[in-house]
Each structure stands twice: as structure tokens, then as C-alpha cells.
């Protein structure tokens, strides 16, 4: 993938990182709460993260392709060529989708790491949340600074989204622990 302009394809990278971290955080915290077993958490996280990476890439590709098709149709109806140079090419869309895939894959390693390294599942959960929201803060801060928004507010917004994802995962894990596992 030599010659890829990462700034040009940042949308795919940001999408992959954000979705990857939030989804994986929910999975890891939910499975931790449901099972209390680090090995099951690791396996579930890795499988979920890999499947999510593929889903993100396909979803991103489909969304961008649909947008491109609508834009081309708009210009055809107007019988204009002005502005079409700003449309993403098919190659651009594929590159962004691949970056979304690899960003999502990258996002699964750091939150999963505590479950490999920390003996107590509760401590691993806390460390997982801390690492994940730290990554989300930096992503939000960076995006905020690119778009000249308040970078701190943007970072905090991303942290809140991550915490909501963790809470949803925890609540789902707790409910399933009682409903399915009878604990």
C-alpha cells in the first residue's frame, strides 16, 4: 500500500479505530462480567475484534460506494463536470476500507492486553477501560484539532462514548450471566 496518503484516508482510519475500540471494549467488559474467565474473554475479544474489523471494512466500502454513486448521479442529472474531481475514486474507497480494517485490527490489541497480563479479572477490566478511554480521548482530541473544534471537548466526547459502550457491555454481560448461566 505504498503511496497511501493517510490524511486523505483518515476517515477510514478514524472509523476503524473508533468502532473497533468501542465494540471491543463492550465485548471484553461484557464477557468479563458474564464469565469471569480471562481465557474466554481473550478468545471472545479476538474473534469479535477480527469479525468486527471485516465488518467495518465491508460497511465502510459499501457506504462510501453508495455515496459516490449518489454523487455521480447528482452530477449526471445536472449535466455538470464541476466538482466531480472531488469524488473519491474506486481505488480511494478500497484503500480507505482497507485502512478501516487494519485500524480496527490494531484497536483490538491494546484493550485485550490486560487480560493476558493481569491475574485478577476485575483489575484487567479496569485497566482495559483505562487504556481504551485513553485511546479514545487521543483520537477525539486529534480529530477535534484537525477540524478546529475544541479538541478537549472532542476528546471528552469520545471518552463518554467509550464509557457508554463499556456500560452497555457490562449490563449485557451481567444480564446474560443471570439469564443463561444462572449465576
For residue 36, tell me if it sits in a domain.
yes
Highest mean pLDDT among 12-21, 55-64, 80-89, 137-146 belongs to: 137-146
For residue 170, tell me if it sits in a domain.
yes
Residues 10 and 110: their CA atoms lie apart, in Å, by 20
pLDDT at 33 over 50: yes
pLDDT at 1 over 50: no
For residue 23, tell me if it sits in a domain.
yes
Residues 37 and 33: their CA atoms lie apart, in Å, by 9
Check residue 38 and give its pLDDT. Answer: 96
Quick one: average pLDDT of 165-178? 96
**Is the Cβ–Cβ distance between 167 and 24 less than 8 Å?**
no
Residues 128 and 117: their CA atoms lie apart, in Å, by 11
2 confidence band (pLDDT: 50, 70, 90): low
181 confidence band (pLDDT: 50, 70, 90): confident
For residue 49, tell me if it sits in a domain.
yes
50 confidence band (pLDDT: 50, 70, 90): very high
For residue 3, tell me if it sits in a domain.
no
Query: CA 130: distance to chain centroid?
Result: 16
> How many residues would you count in the chain?
183
Residues 91 and 105: their CA atoms lie apart, in Å, by 21
Residues 129 and 135: their CA atoms lie apart, in Å, by 10
pLDDT at 95 over 80: yes
Quick one: average pLDDT of 40-69? 90
Quick one: average pLDDT of 67-94? 71
Name the burial class of residue 79, with classes exposed (0-12), middle (13-18) and buried (19+) by CB atoms within 10 angstroms of its CB. exposed
Residue 7 has, within 13 A of its CA and on its CB side, a CA count of: 3
For residue 41, tell me if it sits in a domain.
yes
Quick one: CA dihedral 7, 8, 9, 14, positive or negative?
positive
Q: At how many degrees (to 10) do helices 38-78 and 90-117 cross?
A: 160
**Is the Cβ–Cβ distance between 49 and 20 less than 8 Å?**
yes
For residue 126, tell me if it sits in a domain.
yes
Residues 82 and 129: their CA atoms lie apart, in Å, by 47
Residues 56 and 48: their CA atoms lie apart, in Å, by 12
For residue 92, tell me if it sits in a domain.
no
Of 47-51, 101-105, 135-139, the least confident: 101-105
75 confidence band (pLDDT: 50, 70, 90): confident
Whole-angstrom CA distances from 135 to 105, 111, 180 are 14, 9, 33
Determine what percent of the chain is predicted with pLDDT higher than 90. Answer: 59
Q: Which residues form the domain of 137?
A: 19-56+99-177
The total domain count for the chain is 1
Amino acid at each position: 500500500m505504498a503511496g497511501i496518503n493517510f490524511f486523505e484516508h483518515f476517515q477510514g482510519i478514524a472509523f476503524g479505530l473508533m468502532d473497533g475500540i468501542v465494540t471491543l471494549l463492550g465485548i471484553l467488559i461484557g464477557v468479563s462480567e458474564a464469565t469471569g474467565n480471562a481465557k474466554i474473554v481473550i478468545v471472545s475479544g479476538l474473534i469479535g475484534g477480527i469479525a468486527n474489523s471485516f465488518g467495518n471494512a465491508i460497511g465502510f466500502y459499501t457506504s462510501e460506494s453508495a455515496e459516490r454513486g449518489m454523487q455521480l448521479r447528482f452530477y449526471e442529472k445536472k449535466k455538470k463536470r464541476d466538482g466531480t474531481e472531488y469524488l473519491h475514486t474506486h481505488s480511494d474507497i478500497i484503500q480507505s476500507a482497507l485502512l478501516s480494517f487494519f485500524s480496527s485490527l490494531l484497536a483490538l490489541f491494546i484493550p485485550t492486553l490486560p487480560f493476558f497480563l493481569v491475574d485478577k479479572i476485575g483489575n484487567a477490566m479496569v485497566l482495559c477501560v483505562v487504556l481504551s478511554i485513553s485511546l479514545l480521548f487521543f483520537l477525539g482530541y486529534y480529530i477535534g484539532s484537525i477540524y478546529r473544534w475544541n479538541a478537549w471537548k472532542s476528546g471528552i466526547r469520545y471518552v463518554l462514548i467509550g464509557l457508554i459502550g463499556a456500560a452497555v457491555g457490562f449490563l449485557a454481560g451481567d444480564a446474560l450471566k443471570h439469564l443463561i448461566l444462572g449465576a
